[in-house]
């Protein structure tokens, strides 16, 4: 149990805003944002949000509960130490079958973990040396 990274919750708005400027990955019923804190602390922090577009308060709370449980199960294996993650519920989060939701979250986590620093990777539009801008 000592080899698993520690998990902590994001609760403050500036942490959510910082993650919003970081790379994200949308898969099925969830969007996952990952920000590398670069502070040397191996702690993994996670925050959860659902907008009113998802539904009323009962639906939003259920969506966040499902995302919290998925993160609790998957972040220790698929998360990168020293990162902040924000899980954003989408419309189908509450109705998606549990196995499919877990696949969505795992796929997004693996995609974000695969890029060492996605923010520094040039996009297709800016990789052409003939373009200046």
What's the rounded mean pLDDT across residues 81-88?
93
User: In angstroms, what CA-CA distances link 13 with 19, 37, 49, 93?
Assistant: 10, 15, 11, 23
H or E element that contains 31: strand 30-36
2 in a domain, yes or no? Answer: no
What's the rounded mean pLDDT across residues 98-126?
73
pLDDT bucket at 116, cuts 50 / 70 / 90: low
Q: How many domains does the chain have?
A: 1
Q: What is the pLDDT of residue 3?
A: 54
58 in a domain, yes or no? Answer: yes
Q: Is 59 helix (H, G, I), strand (E, B) or coil?
A: helix
What's the mean pLDDT when you consider all of the chain?
84
40 or 81, greater pLDDT: 81
Enclosing domain of residue 81:
25-113
17 in a domain, yes or no? Answer: no
CATH code for the domain of 41:
3.30.230.10
Closest CA to 68 of 87, 52, 84: 87
What's the rounded mean pLDDT across residues 63-72?
95
pLDDT tens for each residue of 21-64: 999 999 999 999 999 988 888 899 999 999 999 999 999 999 99
Say yes or no to pLDDT of 120 above 50. Answer: no
Q: What is the pLDDT of residue 41?
A: 84
């Amino acid at each position: 149990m000592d080899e698993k990274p520690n998990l902590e919750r994001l609760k403050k708005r500036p942490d959510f805003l910082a993650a919003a400027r970081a790379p994200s990955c949308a898969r099925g019923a969830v969007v996952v944002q990952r920000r590398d804190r670069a502070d040397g602390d191996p702690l993994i922090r996670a925050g959860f949000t659902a907008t009113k577009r998802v539904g009323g308060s009962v639906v939003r709370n259920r969506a966040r509960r499902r995302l919290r449980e998925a993160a609790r199960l998957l972040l220790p294996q698929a998360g990168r130490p020293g990162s902040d993650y924000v899980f954003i519920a989408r419309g189908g989060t509450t109705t998606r079958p549990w196995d499919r939701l877990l696949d969505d979250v795992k796929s997004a986590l693996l995609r974000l973990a695969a890029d060492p620093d996605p923010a520094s990777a040039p996009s297709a539009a800016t990789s052409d040396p003939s373009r200046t801008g």
